[in-house]
Amino acid sequence: MSFQESPRAAEEEETFYVHCRAAYLAVFRSSLANISSKQQLCRVLQQAGRNPSHATLNKYWTNRTAKLNFDDFCEILKCEKKTEEIDLMRAFKKMDVNGDGYISHSELEMALTTRGEKMTNEEMNAIFSLADVNKDGKLDYAEINHLVIGQNGIMSTPAVSCVIRKIKAVGGIILTASHNPGGPNGDFGIKYNISSGGPAPEGITNKIFDISKNLQEYLICPELKVDLSKIGKQTFEVDTFKPFTVEIVDSVEAYAEMLRGIFDFAALKELLSGPNHINVRLDAMHGVVGPYVKKIVCEELGSPANSAVNCVPQEDFGGHHPDPNLTYAADLVNTMKGGEYDFGAAFDGDGDRNMVLGKHGFFVNPSDSVAVIAANITGIPYFQKTGVKGLARSMPTSGALDNVAKALKMQLYETPTGWKFFGNLMDAGKLSLCGEESFGTGSDHIREKDGLWAVLAWLSILATRKQSVEEIMKDHWQKFGRNFFTRYDYEEVDSDAANKMIKDLETTMFDASFVGKKFSSGDKTYEVAVADNFAYTDPVDGSVSKNQGLRIIFSDGSRIIFRLSGTGSAGATIRLYIDSYEKDPQKIYQDPQVREMRIAQ
């Protein structure tokens, strides 16, 4: 099937197809699925912002049509004009006969049963019932435009993703410093998540940026005072929206409800507050996850109140850097070294990253963390119900997850850095668990990294296996081997010099004689099996991401990776990742830094 393509500038094609795919996946699990009915065609067109009439649907779905595929859908969208907000407002005002800002049942009946393509009373009543969300007997524009905010303006990034998916919002805006220093003189970012709950892809964010450059004016409502502390709906009279509704919701409850359906809370409560409970220390680093830790881990699961620290969110994170690693969570590390606590964890500013520690400060590398969760994943109730569809890691992350996937015969995906690549796989039903070396772990329960979810996954493993963090980790290495992993960041490097270094590396690596070359480090010899610049073809939509980093892969799975980022006035950053695999049981307990230093030399 083919339809005439409207003219479209080449630079808009990428954004167009991103929108097409987002609309398609809102209705179907995969872009490979077919549209099999006129009703499905109508739904997916509406998801793409079109408002198809019966005539439009009959134009594309005739008596001889059996199915349409994703490409057909894209062709249709090129021919059909998007319904803009101004068009909706114009239509709304036409039906709002008395101009009171509402459409009554009688006004809608007159519009739908006497004008244009006339509907039956039964059809009209069904539409009115669906659209009248608050069942007050009338429709208002606020039931199309509805703003939901977490109580006191606080909501973690994972919770935002959860709420977007739960209420089927068109998207969400997150104001965050993430894992960077915050406050008046600190970092601040504006992030947009789409209807799947995941970060907006580049095609959308680039379009937003392009539009922002052409804005001539914007309207504000300085008199509109919203009480962020009061749960419930607050209604305001605003010229454009009559009325404008702001709904304040409990920041924690929807997220907590989701977690109750994922984990065995009874087993976790026994672990944290039963007769043989373990002692935990959780550091929220004055980020937004503090209230979640307090309500879920302390109040609901029974861990003592003093087991959670720095749980009051502060705009400057208490003057600290809210990045959960050995450097910035040093207070937690030192506390754990005392031996009083069996399990420790730290969270970043917006709650999507985490660090796990065992007794005496035993450090769990993020790459190992996701591998251990994968190896024990079937012990978590959520995955007992859904099954394990696949595992994924970002390319720089160590191969520890690969070892688990191979041993347990699970599908593994290696993606570029960026959570959007995981989201594509999840939306297509191909991925259950994923992680990255920068302290991010998550699953398909939402479309973001999730720090507290990862910590509860670890606690679930402790509850099931009745072992310490260190014992679990060492048993894992004995079974799957160990990936000694280290990352080095060389910041503010001269851009020209950095680019020259990468070019020189490419010249050496891409020489035909390089593959097969052997390098020795101590008593170990590494033979080059692959040398390339990583490229990724998305198995869902076929998009290709090139030049993602130089990889030297050795025959035993060990790797050295170089990535260059940033070429601004502050210079470039060169990231070096060293991933050395060891399966000899006598060597898996070596000091990672010493071992990696030998390899680097």
Cα-Cα-Cα-Cα torsion 190, 195, 198, 204, nearest 10 degrees, comes to -60
Would you put residue 180 in left (φ > 0), alpha (ψ -120 to 50) or beta?
A: beta
From 137, 134, 129, select the one nearest 103 (Cα to Cα): 137
* Residues whose CB falls within 8 Å of the CB of residue 157, separated by 6 or more in sequence, listed in order: 174, 176, 191, 350, 351, 352, 448, 449
The DSSP element (H or E) to which 246 belongs, if any, is strand 244-249
- Give the count of beta carbons closer than 10 Å to the beta carbon of residue 186: 16
Task: Pull the structure tokens for residue 416.
Answer: 């570029």
- Give the count of beta carbons closer than 10 Å to the beta carbon of residue 390: 20
The DSSP element (H or E) to which 362 belongs, if any, is none
Task: Compute the distance between CA of residue 319 and CA of residue 321 in angstroms, rounded to an integer.
Answer: 7
CB 416 within 8 A of CB 394: yes
Is residue 178 part of the annotated active site? The answer reads yes
CB 131 within 8 A of CB 142: no
CA 451, 457, 458: angle at the middle one, nearest 5?
95
Handedness of CA 129, 134, 140, 145 (dihedral sign): negative
Task: Compute the distance between CA of residue 574 and CA of residue 596 in angstroms, rounded to an integer.
Answer: 17
CB 262 within 8 A of CB 442: no
- Give the count of beta carbons closer than 10 Å to the beta carbon of residue 18: 21
Catalytic residue among 31, 161, 178, 460: 178
Task: Compute the distance between CA of residue 283 and CA of residue 332 in angstroms, rounded to an integer.
Answer: 7
Task: Compute the distance between CA of residue 85 and CA of residue 93 in angstroms, rounded to an integer.
Answer: 12
- Give the count of beta carbons closer than 10 Å to the beta carbon of residue 255: 28
- Give the count of beta carbons closer than 10 Å to the beta carbon of residue 271: 24
Residue with tokens 């830790």: 293
CB 208 within 8 A of CB 192: yes
Q: In what order do the strands lie in the sheet with 482-493?
A: 482-493, 571-582, 559-568, 550-554, 524-533, 518-521
DSSP assignment string, 267-320: HHHHHHHSTTPPPEEEE-TTSTTHHHIIIIIIIIT---GGGEES-S--TTGGGS
* Residues whose CB falls within 8 Å of the CB of residue 53, separated by 6 or more in sequence, listed in order: 116, 117
E-state strands within 395-451? 412-415, 433-436, 440-443
3-state secondary structure 443-460: ECCCCCCCHHHHHHHHHH
Residue positions annotated with a catalytic role: 178
